[in-house]
Amino acid sequence: MRLVLASNNAKKLKELQALFAALPIELVTQGSLGVTEAEEPFHTFVENGLAKARHASVATGLPAIADDSGLCVDALGGQPGVASAHFAPLPEAAAGHSDREALRRLQDEANNSLLLQRLAGAADRRARFVSTLVAVRSAADPEPLIAFGRWEGTVLAQPVGSGGFGYDPLLHIPALGRAVAELPAELKNQHSHRALAARQLAALMRGAWRLG
């Protein structure tokens, strides 16, 4: 089965391809099919995930999977939450950049910097990565499959590690004794919020969609 991933994030595509490797599906990004990104006007991951999956399915006529995920910090009342990807304004250095991955790196750096500013002096640094995966057979699918994953950690005082993306250099996972950006991809794909959600979604797809 060919499914369109409602994202243009190459690293997210690679991660999800690894997580769904056991299923008979082919994931392709919406960007490779000429689909623009959907509006994400809602306050919850599940609502935005549904909006993105339906948008991709409408545009392509294919079943779609969307991941809406982010970092929720207790001391900030759950922020940055659904605004995680664009928590901070793009820095001036981004002006004139046309390379999507370069812009994403600049945005990540700005987001991490703002998060550390907001948490300056905070005693409570508990946080979690949250992933909501949504799959629809069509834009009008009355029975979307929805899976959730939560990965508990604490926000560090400064970034460490060079792997992953987004807030990975700042979230320390006590159970593993390392920041997410310090984990090899194989270990991350076993324990992450997205891995937890992917395992749930794979089980739902095997049952409801008769895959695998």
> Three-state DSSP class for 147?
strand
pLDDT tens digits along 16-70: 998 899 999 999 999 999 999 999 999 999 999 999 999 999 999 999 999 999 9
Q: Which two tokens stand for residue 105?
A: 């790196």
CATH number at residue 146: 3.90.950.10
pLDDT tens digits along 191-200: 999 999 999 9
107: containing domain: 2-208
Q: Which of 67, 68, 108, 168 is catalytic?
A: 68
**Domain total in the chain:** 1
Query: What is the pLDDT, as a whole number, of residue 97?
Result: 66
Give the C-alpha separation, 45 to 47, whole Å: 6
Judge if pTM exceeds 0.85.
Answer: yes
User: Catalytic annotation on 67?
Assistant: no
Q: What is the mean pLDDT of residues 1-27?
A: 89
In sequence order, the 6+-apart residues with CB closer than 8 A to the CB of 186 are none
Q: Is the pLDDT of residue 94 over 70?
A: no
pLDDT tens digits along 70-79: 999 999 999 9
Alpha-carbon distances, residue 170 vs 10, 17, 47, 112, 178 (angstroms):
21, 25, 26, 7, 10
